[in-house]
Amino acid sequence: MTTTTTTTPLDLADVQGGILNPRPSPYVGTYLLLRIDDRRDGREMLRRLAERIAPAATWSADSGSWFNVALSHRGLAALGVPAESLATFPPEFRAGMAARAGVLGDVGVQSPEHWEWPLGTADVHVALAVIAKDAERLDVLLEEARAAYGRLPGVRLIWRQDCYALPTEREAFGFRDGISHPAVEGSGIPGSNPQERPLEAGEFVTGYVDETGDRAPVPQPEALGRNGTYVVFRKLHQDVAGFRRYLRDHSASAEDEERLAAKLVGRWRSGAPLVLAPERDDPALGADPTRNNDYLYRREDERGLRCPVGSHVRRMNPRDAVVTGEVRLHRMIRRGTSYGPPLPDGVLEDDGAERGLCFVFIGAHIARQFEFVQAQWVGDGRAFGAPEERDPLVGSHDGPGVFTIPARPIRRRLTDLPQFVSTRGGEYCFAPSLTALRWLADLEG
Amino acid sequence: MTQSTCTTTVKSGRGARHGVVSEVTAFLTVKPGEADELRAGLVRFHERVRRAPWQEVVKIGIVDMRHAVFEDDTRLLWITSFDTDWDPYIDDAVAIIGIENWQDWLRHTVEYSSSPEAFRDAAAVKRSLQAAQVPATGFYRAIPDLTLAQVEKGRRIREAFERVLDDPRAAEALQHPALKPLLDEAAD
Ligand code: HEM
């Protein structure tokens, strides 16, 4: 890919603070979805919220709590954004996540007609993320959020999802999450892999040169379209008991179970990557942010003897490994947060509780980044030379899944993987710049 | 993998070659008003070839093939690549696929239907294609040096090897020094 020398500096004074930045640890959050029944009330809410959102230039996690706001295509329409302007947004965003179910593999029991209401319906207009370091501060901020929408009869709260990131930073299957994230050129936010060149700002913020060497068209007018980013959220149920049973049934010892679990993910539970800790978990490595993502694949592990080519993290970011396509065009910022009560340690039977991951993607190109990764790297194996395989951790299988674990002297092949993760619903949203929030609030008519 | 350049040889007629594969690119003229019948005939033709068992696929020698009707239904593009040289083998391919299956679509092209030997001599197929052929400026195949038979053999060996590896006794069996090259491939 070309490195561009004449890029416009990223206008951090206009980007919503807290979107590009890693979140503090631990933290709690609440995702709210709102419907706009009266555009004037919707605009008034945005005006109030915009006042409370710090620009990325001065934003700091030390503030302890913050909002981010994003709108679906229908939300923009509900605010009265003119049709000519709506037509300048990318087609997949205009279609919305439910309409893209075929591309994303949300079929059968995971198809939108089975999603949790109101996900996937025309009612989802505004997504409000309320994030705080602890529950007390969250309550205070939720109060403030309520002040922004509460007394406006034309805005209705239709969904609330409470989430949390544990102090251990473990997701529901028990792995440290939120480790690997890319550096964004000009953002000042360091990436977690010192060996990965920062990605061009246009990969994550609209209106800048991206990794193609070009500046993608910006939704019009520029006041609305520039300095924004797309936010994809997906509520993903995790079958934790099923995952634990699978490990137990395919291992000879507790140690074996941990090794198998690590092979599926590509990291040990502590977060230590298999490439750097091939034999056993190394909790000190897993916990050390200066080392736990400092690796590539090709030199150390071309054939996947340490980290399987088909493991979750190697699929999601093949780094320098040889796969079909150009990896740097398919990177993303993630903000995953757990929901639901953790399944107590050692429990192997499902307790019927809803739990999983509120997956959040952030990037400037929904189709080329999120949809590509979900369809090609999660839901297919051809890019990795294994057409019959899917992502062993998060992929959907229409039958028993296959997963190859390279090993000496002989590779191991699992041929009976069940599905561990199921889609409960989600939406494609646009997180406008601060200028755009004011532009939307000032719409007339 | 051996590097081979794209060359045109006398044997490959006016088609270009990359490794063991040659190409044919032909622009034919659609008989006025017959585009729909042409398309229907082509669908049948492709179905016929897709149904062929592997042994027959190797005998036919067509590596890949596409047909596209364009310019308001007036023209037909045929692009194909062929194991070895297409020129000496095209008559064989016509015979194996069945002349009637070629005529089924070629009859809707000017080049074939206006040829005096059409419907009488199988060689009319080759002549009408040659008449419509244009030289390719570039021709590239990612795997230029394997014939279809070699690809098929490779597939069978791979499947056999996977079956061996699925056997719990494989690790021990592959320790024999004579099997060292296979053991090196057993890890992934
Ligand atoms: C419930 C579902 C999921 C679980 C439990 C899960 C879990 C994990 C874990 C434990 C890691 C390693 C920690 C890290 O590098 O931050 C990871 C990394 C990652 N995941 Fe997931 N994930 C899920 C769904 C997804 C989905 C749907 C996508 C994308 C469409 C995705 C994309 C990624 C990416 C890009 C990485 C970083 C890879 C790297 O840079 O090395 N994940 N995930």
Query: Which tens digit of pLDDT belongs to each residue from A346-359?
Result: 999 999 999 999 99
- R_g of chain B, CA atoms, integer Å: 21
Residue ranges with strand state E in chain B: 7-8, 16-18, 21-29, 62-70, 75-83
* A228 and A247 inside one domain: no
Residue A7 lies in a domain: no
Residue A93 lies in a domain: yes
Question: Integer distance in angstroms from the first to the last C-alpha of chain B?
Answer: 21
* Residue B53 Cα, gap to closest chain A Cα (Å): 22
Residue A348 lies in a domain: yes
* Section A29-54 average pLDDT: 96
* A433 and A308 inside one domain: no
pLDDT bracket for residue A23 (50, 70, 90): confident
> What was the pLDDT predicted at B95?
87
Give me the residue from B170, B183, B187 closest to A407, CB to CB. Answer: B187
Least confident of A59-63, A409-413, A414-418, B39-43: A59-63
- Measured from the Cα of A373, ligand 1's closest atom is 30
Does B188 sit within 8 Å of A304, measured CB to CB? Answer: yes
10 Å Cβ neighbour count for A422?
Answer: 18
* CB contact A407 to B (< 8 Å): yes
Tell me the chain B residues in contact with residue A304 when contact means C-beta distances shorter than 8 Å.
188
Does A305 sit within 8 Å of B188, measured CB to CB? Answer: yes
* Section A24-52 average pLDDT: 95
| Whether the Cβ atoms of residue B138 and residue B144 lie closer than 8 Å to each other | no
* A231 and A280 inside one domain: no
> What was the pLDDT predicted at B14?
66
The residue among B85 and B46 whose pLDDT is bigger is B46
Task: Provide the residue range defining the domain that includes A435.
Answer: 27-236+427-441
* A271 and A413 inside one domain: yes
A392 alpha carbon – ligand 1 mean position (Å): 12
Is pLDDT of B10 > 50? Answer: no
* A304 and A252 inside one domain: yes
Taking all residues of chain B, what is their mean pLDDT, rounded to a whole number?
A: 89
Scanning B134-173 for CB atoms below 8 A from A yields: 162, 165-166, 170-171
Is pLDDT of B149 > 90? Answer: no
Element (H, E) at A339: strand A337-339
- Output the ligand 1 site: residues, CB below 6 A: A 171, 173, 175, 177-180, 236, 238, 265, 267, 312-313, 316-317, 332, 334, 356-357, 359, 373-374, 378, 394, 421
> Phi and psi of A95, rounded to 5°?
-70, -35
> What was the pLDDT predicted at A277?
98
What are the tokens at A11? 């206008």
Does B171 sit within 8 Å of A304, measured CB to CB? Answer: no
* A342 and A218 inside one domain: no
Looking only at the bridges linking them, the beta strands covering A421-431 and A356-363 are unpaired
Is pLDDT of A5 > 50? Answer: no
* A373 and A251 inside one domain: yes
Residue A16 lies in a domain: no
Per residue in A79-97, pLDDT tens? 999 999 999 999 999 999 9
pLDDT bracket for residue A7 (50, 70, 90): low
Nearby residues of B109 by Cβ (< 8 Å), 6 or more positions away: B28, B29, B30, B31, B38, B76, B128, B132
Per residue in A289-336, pLDDT tens? 999 999 999 999 999 999 999 999 999 999 999 889 999 999 999 998
Nearby residues of A123 by Cβ (< 8 Å), 6 or more positions away: A33, A35, A158
Is pLDDT of B74 > 60? Answer: yes
Residue the block writes with tokens 């209106």: A207
Least confident of A152-166, A259-273, B140-154: B140-154
Tell me the chain A residues in contact with residue B175 when contact means C-beta distances shorter than 8 Å.
409
Calculate the CA dihedral of residues A414, A420, A423, A429 and round it to 10 degrees. Answer: -80
* Section A20-35 average pLDDT: 92
Residue A315 lies in a domain: yes
pLDDT bracket for residue A21 (50, 70, 90): confident
Per residue in A193-235, pLDDT tens? 999 999 999 999 999 999 999 999 999 999 999 999 999 999 9
How far apart are the C-alpha atoms of A376 and A359, rounded to whole Å?
A: 18
Nearby residues of A271 by Cβ (< 8 Å), 6 or more positions away: A169, A175, A176, A179, A285, A286, A287, A292
* CB contact A309 to B (< 8 Å): yes
> What was the pLDDT predicted at B8?
47
Per residue in A229-280, pLDDT tens? 999 999 999 999 999 999 999 999 999 999 999 999 999 999 999 999 999 9
- Measured from the Cα of A266, ligand 1's closest atom is 12
What are the tokens at A141? 């901020």
Residue A3 lies in a domain: no
The residue among A436 and A25 whose pLDDT is bigger is A436
Residue the block writes with tokens 């009707």: B69
Tell me the chain B residues in contact with residue A413 when contact means C-beta distances shorter than 8 Å.
162, 165-166
pLDDT bracket for residue A181 (50, 70, 90): very high
How far apart are the C-alpha atoms of B76 and B70, rounded to whole Å?
A: 6
| Whether the Cβ atoms of residue A17 and residue A129 lie closer than 8 Å to each other | no
pLDDT bracket for residue B3 (50, 70, 90): very low
Per residue in A29-41, pLDDT tens? 999 999 999 999 9
10 Å Cβ neighbour count for A40?
Answer: 16
* A185 and A285 inside one domain: no
User: How many alpha carbons fall within 13 Å on the CB side of residue B59?
Assistant: 14
Does B188 sit within 8 Å of A309, measured CB to CB? Answer: yes
> What was the pLDDT predicted at A1?
43
Taking all residues of chain A, what is their mean pLDDT, rounded to a whole number?
A: 95
Looking only at the bridges linking them, the beta strands covering A337-339 and A356-363 are antiparallel
Considering only CA atoms, which of A381, A415, A411 is closest in space to residue A250?
A: A415
> What was the pLDDT predicted at A111?
97
* A156 and A282 inside one domain: no
10 Å Cβ neighbour count for A187?
Answer: 20
> What was the pLDDT predicted at A28?
94
> What was the pLDDT predicted at A281?
98
Q: Hey, what amino acid is at B183?
A: L
Residue A22 lies in a domain: no
Considering only CA atoms, which of A159, A154, A78, A75 is closest in space to residue A118?
A: A159
- In DSSP notation, A276-322 reads T-SSS--HHHHH-TTTTT---SHHHHTT-SSS-TTSHHHHH--TTS-
Is pLDDT of A362 > 50? Answer: yes
* A81 and A164 inside one domain: yes
Per residue in A99-116, pLDDT tens? 999 999 999 999 999 999
Q: How many domains does chain A have?
A: 2
- In DSSP notation, A26-88 reads SEEEEEEEEEESSHHHHHHHHHHHHHT--BTTT--GGG-EEEEEEE-HHHHHHTT--HHHHTT
A394 alpha carbon – ligand 1 mean position (Å): 9
CA A89 to chain centre: 21
Residue A21 lies in a domain: no
* Section B32-50 average pLDDT: 98
Tell me the chain B residues in contact with residue A411 when contact means C-beta distances shorter than 8 Å.
165, 186-188
Please tell me which residue of chain B has the smallest CA distance to A308: B188
> Phi and psi of A80, rounded to 5°?
95, 20
* A72 and A216 inside one domain: yes
* Section A405-419 average pLDDT: 96
* A244 and A114 inside one domain: no
How far apart are the C-alpha atoms of A397 and B34, rounded to whole Å?
A: 45
> What was the pLDDT predicted at A6?
52
